[in-house]
Each structure stands twice: as structure tokens, then as C-alpha cells.
Amino acid sequence: MKITFGAGPFLFQHDCAPVHKARSIKTWMTESGVDELDWPAQSPDLNPIEHLWDELERRLRARPSRPTSVCDLTNALLEEWSKIPINTLLNLVDSLPRRVEAVIAAKGGPTSY
């Protein structure tokens, strides 16, 4: 399945985890025309999407049975994703200024986020 993201250029932000720095990933990013945002290692994670992934994982784990195939997993993810209330998404986006303030107050150190 080919996924189209629309017109570029793209700037991808990630946390510099080793999996993101694998040669195959770097090659794909280069071939796909996706530039990476410079991001220091060990930097605080301000990205609200991490909390959304946690929410999705909690929802998957709460299901009565675990998916047994890629197709089952895909369907379960799509179903649980669609059940996440829009207010959850808006609250995560609205939390960004507080996240930035917390990082500034912690002088770049760990925060409660």
C-alpha cells in the first residue's frame, strides 16, 4: 500500500531514537524527499502525539481479545482510533504551551509531561 502525504516539502521531527537513525530509514527519507528537523539527543519530548499513542495502546490493551493477525491489528487500531474523542485531541494540542513552559522552567530537564 502506498501512502501519499500530499505536496511536499516535508520536515520530519523525531526524537533521534536509534530506530529512527537506521540506514534503511535514512535511505527511505532521502529517497522520499523528507528532510529531518535537527533535534538534540536526550531532549525533552514536547510532542503531544506520544500521549495519543499511549491512549491508543491503552484502548487496544483493554479490548477483550488481542488481534491475531496484521489485518486484525489494523482493524482494531482503526476502530479504537475512531473512538478517541475530539476533545482528547484538542486538549493535547492545547497543552503544547504548558509543555514548553515546563521545559523552560526545568531548564531543559525532565518535566511531568
Query: Tell me: the pLDDT tens digits for 34-57?
Result: 888 777 666 666 778 888 999 999
Q: Is residue 34 part of a domain?
A: yes
Other CB atoms within 10 Å distance of the CB of residue 72: 12
CB of 44 within 8 A of CB of 111? yes
Q: How many helices (H) and strands (E) does the chain have?
A: 5, 2
Co-location of 39 and 61 in the same domain:
no
Our count of domains for the chain comes to 2
C-alpha cell at 84: 478517541
The pLDDT of residue 17: 73
pLDDT band at 5 (very low <50, low <70, confident <90, very high): low
Gap between the Cα atoms of 65 and 68, Å rounded: 9
Q: Which domain holds residue 27?
A: 9-43
Residue 59, domain member (yes or no): yes
Average pLDDT over every residue of 68-74:
95
Residue 20 lies in a domain: yes
Q: Are residues 55 and 97 in the same domain?
A: yes
Instruction: Using a cut of 0.75, tell me whether the model's pTM lies above it.
Output: no
